[in-house]
Amino acid sequence: MNKKVLLMGVVSLTLMFILGGTGTSFASTPVLSPPSGTLPSVNYWVSSTVHYSVTNSEWNSLFKDVYDNSSYVSYNWSSNLTQYLIIFDLSYQGLNPYGLQFILALSTIGFPSIGNMSKAFNMTKNKQSQISGYNNIQALNAGAYPGYSWSVPIVKNTNKIYEEYGTLIAIVASIFILYFIFNRKK
């Protein structure tokens, strides 16, 4: 009888740990599709009289020279057909919260050259992303879209993984130790 209770306890704790204790969100991820054509132009103001537009070719340069560049972002976004969701909403017609942070930073700098867009990237990389516990650059490096709370990092933090497994091992070990302490014959 006691062995069955112990086994049920171990199984229950293991399931609770795996399903609920890993910090993984099980929010539904929408179906992601690549953009159907050109990316929209986005206008922004740098003063009350001067404004610029980021056009399709400038967006492509930004992604090629910054997001696909391993000196900026360690995750390989270039092989991801939906990488433009880093900046855009799901319809690819507007900006997501991270894209808005980027454009606001660019509006304090000026013309949308690759140098200025790199500066805007650097201004926003340490800001909090929509993903709990991650700033923008951490989310990007983990393969997650920083503008969406439903996005789940693909690359796990190794310290977090060791912490989770250590916790699981400690729980199982403590159950076995308690079992032998309380089931000793007197």
Rg (CA), the chain: 23
Alpha-carbon span 184 to 165, nearest angstrom: 29
Alpha-carbon span 16 to 38, nearest angstrom: 46
Which parts of the chain have pLDDT scores under 70?
Answer: 1-27, 156-161, 185-186
Alpha-carbon span 64 to 61, nearest angstrom: 5
Average pLDDT of the residues of the chain: 86
| Residue 13: predicted pLDDT | 57
| Residue 22: predicted pLDDT | 47
Name the residue ranges covered by the structural domains of the chain.
Answer: 2-23+158-182, 42-141
> Taking the C-alpha atoms of 153, 155, 159 and 165 in order, what is their torsion angle to the nearest 10 degrees?
80
Residue 24 tokens read as 């993984």
In tens, the pLDDT along 155-165 reads 866 666 677 77
In tens, the pLDDT along 127-139 reads 999 999 999 999 9
| Residue 180: predicted pLDDT | 77
CB distance 92 to 99 below 8 Å: no
